[in-house]
Amino acid sequence: MGFFNLGVGIERGFITRDEGVARALLELRFLSRHAQRFHGAFPHLVNGQTGRVIPFGPYDDGADLVETAFLIQGALFAREYFSRNDPEEAEIRNLADGLWRDVQWDWFLSRNDPFPVLIWHWSPDYGWKINLHIVGFNECQIVYLLAMASPTHPISPAAYWQGWEGPDYASDQEEFGINLELGNIPAVTPPLFMAHYSYLGLDPRQIRFHGRTYFDHFTDFCRVQISYAQSKSNVFKGYGPLWGITASAGLDLGVPDAVKAETLAYLVVVLEGMDATRVADDVEALATLLSKMGALEVYVLPAAAGAQLIAAREKAFFAAKASGADDIIDAVVPRAAIPDYLARVAVLAGEHGALITGCGHVGDGNVHLSVFQPDSEGRHALIRSIFAAAVAAGGAISGEHGIGTEKQEYYLDTVDPTALALMRSIKAAFDPRGILGPHRLLDPTGDAS
């Protein structure tokens, strides 16, 4: 989006054309000469000083084809916009064209599926571990259009028709009395970034689906979101005059308000198998079991929507950091104690005037909580109370994302002194000179600074 912003800024007089040219050259030279690429594709995040990849998730340390497509879309805009016959603008055109030609779109086609489909991520260390297919409908349409149009590494149109427009591409839904055809996400229409990202350089009025332009479909999205905002105007401050929500930290999954009011958490279960009939039977059996165990409602998602939900879950930890969480804490509790622990956390959040969001793995009882409480003194008291609740439930502070220097005071409050002494002895045996993490929690001298 940055390259489009330069054009807007120049046209509206926010910056001069010379300033826009200088900025575009700075970005394109960095991307061409320093930023890490994998088969021509960029990672989700790069270090602005070194150009090296910044991992976006546990296995997301390589190519991100979707983010690459958004970037290339902007670079191609710069190539066309900066059209003057002078050395600087000619260099912009050459650099942008080089980035576009270097992307090996065809290399990202799935090799193990019955139909061609592009894959979102590739890691030099983990390969195709994430294995997230780029299937519609969502914000990723530009990926397939650029890949088909590539002058150097094109893909077949069959990938678009069979991969992108897959079985979950459309559905017949109605929300607030408005018919919706695009997408199959159980929410109050897709968040509107799905109608934005691919269409910064692509005119949605020029392409059609089911006899209507994408612009018409997106207008329906906006009409639903206007109605949704109006329906929540007595719940959320500022709602009512909104024309739509670009992205949101909390999804309305179409769950009735009466259910949401009683729901403490959502449990996500993934069922896989080679036999579709067997998986369907397992889904039915599991849904019946969960209902008997007190689930307020059970929703079954198609595979594509489920994959998007899991991908979002995997990125939740990093998204919380990016969204400005004041602290992110981990605690592990016995699986049977998770509901009571989360209930206690909700009470503590109310008492301390904080917002706390969380996710976790039911399999091992590890719960990650993002704490939004700008008052540092109140936040420390709140975190100490949360960890005390975890210990009272038979749990402990978790080190999945590292105890960290800031967590030492809490850890020392909760850990068994005998266990700490044992860990220090193990540390001393393997690292007698204190080379690894000197003066940290497990310093053999017993100091915890």
Q: Is the pTM of this model over 0.85?
A: no
Cα dihedral value 307, 310, 316, 322, nearest 10: -10
Helix orientation angle between 338-351 and 376-392, rounded to the nearest 10 degrees: 160
CATH 1.50.10.140 matches 2-166 = yes
From 332, 312, 307, 336, select the one nearest 399 (Cα to Cα). Answer: 332
pLDDT at 336 over 80: yes
Rounded to whole angstroms, how far apart are CA atoms 61 and 124? 8
pLDDT (mean) for 359-379? 81
C-alpha of 129 from chain center: 16
Distance (Å, whole) CA 169 – CA 302: 11
Who's near 406: CB < 8 A, 6+ residues apart?
Answer: 327
67-121 tens-digit pLDDT: 999 999 999 999 999 999 999 999 999 999 999 999 999 999 998 888 899 999 9
How much is the pLDDT for 254?
47
Q: What band does 351 get if pLDDT is binned at 50, 70 and 90?
A: confident
Which residues does residue 371 pair with via DSSP β-bridges, in sequence order? 327, 356
Q: What is the dihedral of CA 398, 400, 402, 408, to 10 degrees?
A: 0
Separation in Å, CA 386 to CA 69, 330, 332: 42, 10, 11
The backbone torsions φ and ψ at residue 170, rounded to the nearest 5 degrees and listed phi first, read: -140, 160
Domain 316-415 annotated CATH 3.40.50.720: no
Tens of pLDDT, residue by residue over 124-176, are: 999 999 889 999 888 999 999 999 999 999 999 999 999 999 887 888 888 88
Q: What is the C-alpha to C-alpha distance for residues 137 and 184, in angstroms, rounded to an integer?
A: 7
